[in-house]
């Protein structure tokens, strides 16, 4: 057997765990910051934070990422002194710690992307080393349970103190492990976890049991702060050894009563669901690439199913009876859908978790712009595909950043306008029909000055939809606008691209001058499998997301009036002109010839038109022939070297040839630019 072991196989796991720990550390710091403003401490959280940093340090050391080790070590030293001081961490220390975690995350990201990892931030480490955690709080510890004196840390004593102040009972619980308990799944780990779910577990001490021949030889003594009743605690810890050791109550009778039934306003036993989530959750962390692999296999299966259908249709054409075959194919189709749903469920992440980084963002922005801003996240239990979440987050960051940077006014200005001085940015998410979610980023800032934008754009703007169209134009200068009163436009083309072109969703804008702005993104919860219309144009097949198509029309000569011929490079006497007007329901809709746009004109008469809505306005694309509507697996074209305007991905309709997925919105822009030039 080879003696060489290479730890590089753990890089992926390292990145995942380090990211998770860094996120947990950030959360802990934010919580400590809240405690600071309340004038309280959170010893437990400080200890969690210490552990997270310690683990990051150890793992980074094993992976040989020295800069992370150094930063984590400096932070760990800072937090350890805070722990010894009973959980006190000065605002300045919190600030610098957040910065340190940021530096760690950046380097973890570099490891993930196999980039060069930035070196040791010497300046930052010197700063961390120079600050002291605050001196220990001088609080009187009112009561230490007998037998526990001298065994508890300052932080733990403060936990007891707090229990004392709020009149929550403190219990001493002793658990004795045994082989029979283990076979029933009751171990110190399970007891510890279950007790933590019904109270605050302060400390656990192992105690070696005397006496020869005692096979187990160990007992665990625990201190638990809990409002639960004695019976509940005893049942949870699988022991009869439960005693109240400290409680503040007005009379001995009250103590007895509490001991028997729990505190007067006790929640008692946690309700069943809580309990089930607390102890019944079995979580396996899976590398996303493995889920992608699964998805890839599924997509191959979907493609081979298309082939099967083609073959069945071919057999049917020859006059054979294919009813049984069709039934089986249909059954298989349903099973595939179920399988797809199951895989999708495994890829789902909570939107609330996805939005979490926005907290840090807003906090930092509020600081740098010196404007008090609060972020409100309302995501409930909505979920979406991790792949969608990864694409969506940068767009949301753009929107939130814009809101804080440009929309929220200075406090004086807000006060003068009769608004609360603290601005609010609200990001909410709700599930809407047909596997879509709707994310709204709303601010209560100054709103967008339509007239100012109109002057910049040198065109009238009559509606929010037109405003959005101008703002999302790639050429629309952000620098000019962002610094003037209208103040918006930064990266809006990117937001539009993510929401509409990449995700096949919609972006909408609603703004009221002086009152605020709301951007609404409506996106599918998954993009791996898409519902599309397939059609033929020239000799080729294409698909477009079905969610974008409003209507499909028959095109006849009477309803179409020929427009100006487009300036096509190299085009001789034009065959079909690329644009015409199409009359529908009393409205003239621009009709673009897709064949002409893609320069694959067959000369055949287009017979169908797809209507999409572009910035609120209908627009039609003519195609030679509709093929159908189906679910396909789309592979996005992410390689920047092969980006072609108007093409977002490829798919396979079952004929084994790649079929292109078109972005009709972008094709319309391409056409407009051609006309303009």
* Nearer Cβ to other proteins (15/441): 15
Q: Residue 108 corresponds to which tokens in the numbers above?
A: 């973890």
Residue of 216, 483, 485, 556 interacting with other proteins (CB under 8 A): 216
The continuous run of DSSP H or E covering 615 comes out as none
The interface region with other proteins, picked from 212-220, 268-276, 449-457, 639-647 by CB under 8 A, is 212-220
Residues in the chain: 677
Q: What is the DSSP letter of 546?
A: G
Paired strand residues for 222: 173, 204
Residue of 113, 122, 149, 179 interacting with other proteins (CB under 8 A): 179
Q: Residue 102 corresponds to which tokens in the numbers above?
A: 């940021």
d(C-alpha 227, C-alpha 149), whole Å = 23
Handedness of CA 406, 410, 413, 415 (dihedral sign): positive
Place of tokens 């030889």: 217
Under the binding rule (CB under 8 A), the answer on residue 55 touching other proteins is: yes
Residue of 99, 127, 187, 650 interacting with other proteins (CB under 8 A): 187
CB atoms within 10 A of CB 662: 24
Residue of 34, 58, 290, 415 interacting with other proteins (CB under 8 A): 58
The interface region with other proteins, picked from 31-39, 103-111, 185-193, 269-277 by CB under 8 A, is 185-193
Under the binding rule (CB under 8 A), the answer on residue 204 touching other proteins is: yes
- What's phi and psi for 31, nearest 5 deg? -65, -40
Under the binding rule (CB under 8 A), the answer on residue 112 touching other proteins is: no
* Nearer Cβ to other proteins (12/563): 12
Shortest distance (Å) from residue 17 CB to other proteins: 5
Place of tokens 């300046």: 123
Under the binding rule (CB under 8 A), the answer on residue 283 touching other proteins is: no
Under the binding rule (CB under 8 A), the answer on residue 62 touching other proteins is: yes
Shortest distance (Å) from residue 6 CB to other proteins: 8
CB atoms within 10 A of CB 68: 29
Q: Residue 196 corresponds to which tokens in the numbers above?
A: 């933590």
CB–CB of 73/57 below 8 Å? yes
* Nearer Cβ to other proteins (217/267): 217
Residue of 23, 31, 54, 405 interacting with other proteins (CB under 8 A): 54
* Nearer Cβ to other proteins (13/515): 13
- What's phi and psi for 271, nearest 5 deg? -70, 165
CB–CB of 129/77 below 8 Å? yes
Residue of 57, 230, 340, 522 interacting with other proteins (CB under 8 A): 57
Any residues with CB less than 8 A from the CB of 573 and at least 6 apart, and which? none
The interface region with other proteins, picked from 52-60, 236-244, 555-563, 661-669 by CB under 8 A, is 52-60
* Nearer Cβ to other proteins (60/441): 60
* Nearer Cβ to other proteins (220/542): 220
Residues in region 16-45 near other proteins by CB under 8 A: 17
Under the binding rule (CB under 8 A), the answer on residue 177 touching other proteins is: yes
Under the binding rule (CB under 8 A), the answer on residue 192 touching other proteins is: yes
d(C-alpha 36, C-alpha 45), whole Å = 13
Under the binding rule (CB under 8 A), the answer on residue 13 touching other proteins is: yes
Q: What is the DSSP letter of 417?
A: T
Under the binding rule (CB under 8 A), the answer on residue 189 touching other proteins is: yes
Kindly tell me the burial class for residue 241, based on how many C-beta atoms sit within 10 Å of its own C-beta (0-12, 13-18, 19 or more): middle
Q: CA distances (Å), 71 to each of 33, 127, 447, in order?
A: 21, 11, 42
Interface with other proteins (CB under 8 A): 1-7, 9-10, 13-14, 17, 47, 51, 54-55, 57-59, 61-62, 64, 69, 177-179, 182, 187-189, 192, 203-206, 208, 212, 215-218, 220
């Amino acid at each position: 057997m080879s003696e060489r072991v290479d730890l590089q196989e753990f890089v992926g796991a390292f990145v995942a765990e380090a990211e998770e720990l860094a996120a947990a550390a950030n959360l802990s710091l934010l919580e400590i910051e809240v405690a600071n403003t309340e004038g309280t401490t959170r010893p437990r959280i400080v200890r969690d934070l210490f552990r997270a940093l310690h683990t990051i340090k150890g793992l980074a050391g094993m992976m040989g990422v020295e800069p992370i080790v150094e930063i984590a070590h400096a932070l760990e030293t800072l937090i350890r002194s805070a722990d010894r001081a009973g959980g006190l961490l000065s605002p300045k220390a919190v600030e610098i710690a957040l910065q340190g975690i940021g530096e760690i995350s950046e380097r973890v990201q570099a490891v993930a992307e196999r980039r060069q990892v930035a070196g040791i931030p010497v300046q930052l480490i010197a700063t961390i080393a120079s600050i002291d955690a605050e001196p220990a709080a001088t609080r009187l510890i009112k009561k230490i349970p007998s037998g526990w004196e001298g065994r508890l840390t300052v932080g733990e004593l403060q936990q007891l103190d707090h229990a004392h102040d709020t009149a929550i009972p403190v219990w001493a619980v002793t658990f004795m492990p045994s082989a029979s308990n283990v076979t029933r799944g009751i171990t110190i780990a399970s007891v510890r976890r279950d007790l933590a779910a019904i109270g605050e577990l302060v400390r656990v001490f192992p105690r070696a049991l005397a006496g020869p021949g005692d096979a187990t030889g160990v007992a665990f003594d625990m201190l638990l702060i809990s409002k639960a009743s004695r019976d509940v605690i005893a049942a949870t810890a699988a022991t009869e050894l439960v005693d109240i050791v400290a409680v503040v109550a007005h009379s001995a009778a009250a103590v007895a009563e509490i001991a028997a039934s729990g505190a007067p306003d006790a929640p008692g036993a946690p309700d069943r669901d809580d309990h089930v989530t607390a102890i019944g959750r079995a979580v396996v962390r899976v590398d996303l690439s493995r889920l992608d692999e699964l998805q890839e296999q599924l997509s191959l299966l979907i493609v081979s199913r298309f082939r099967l259908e083609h073959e069945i249709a071919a057999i049917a054409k020859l006059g054979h009876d294919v009813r049984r075959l069709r039934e089986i194919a249909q059954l298989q189709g349903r099973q595939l859908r179920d399988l797809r749903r199951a895989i999708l469920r495994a890829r789902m992440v909570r939107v609330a978790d996805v939005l979490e980084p926005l907290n840090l963002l807003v906090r930092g922005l509020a600081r740098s712009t010196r404007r008090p801003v609060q972020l409100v996240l309302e995501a409930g239990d909505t979920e979406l595909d991790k792949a969608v979440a990864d694409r969506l987050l940068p767009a949301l960051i753009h929107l939130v950043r814009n809101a804080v940077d440009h929309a929220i006014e200075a406090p004086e200005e807000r006060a003068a306008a009769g608004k609360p001085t603290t601005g609010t940015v609200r990001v909410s998410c709700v599930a809407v029909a047909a596997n879509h979610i709707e994310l709204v980023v709303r601010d209560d800032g100054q709103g967008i000055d339509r007239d100012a934008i109109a002057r910049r754009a040198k065109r009238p703007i009559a509606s929010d939809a037109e405003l959005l169209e101008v703002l999302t134009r790639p050429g629309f200068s952000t620098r000019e606008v962002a610094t003037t009163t209208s103040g918006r436009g930064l990266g809006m083309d990117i937001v539009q691209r993510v929401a509409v072109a990449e995700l096949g969703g919609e972006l909408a804008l609603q703004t009221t001058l002086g009152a605020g702005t709301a951007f609404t993104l409506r996106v599918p919860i998954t993009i791996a499998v898409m519902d599309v219309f397939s059609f033929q144009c020239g000799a080729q097949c294409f698909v477009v997301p079905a969610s974008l198509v409003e209507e499909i029309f028959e095109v006849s000569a009477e309803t179409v009036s020929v427009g100006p011929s487009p300036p096509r490079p190299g085009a001789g006497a034009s065959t079909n002109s690329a644009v015409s007007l199409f009359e529908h329901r009393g409205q003239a809709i621009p009709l673009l010839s897709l064949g002409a746009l893609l320069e694959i004109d067959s000369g055949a008469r287009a017979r169908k038109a797809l209507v999409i809505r572009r910035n609120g306005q209908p627009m039609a694309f003519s195609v030679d022939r509709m093929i159908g509507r189906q679910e396909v697996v789309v592979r996005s074209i992410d390689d920047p070297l092969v980006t072609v305007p108007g093409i977002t991905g490829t798919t396979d309709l079952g004929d084994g040839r790649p079929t292109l997925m078109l972005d009709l919105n972008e094709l319309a822009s391409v056409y407009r630019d051609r006309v303009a030039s």
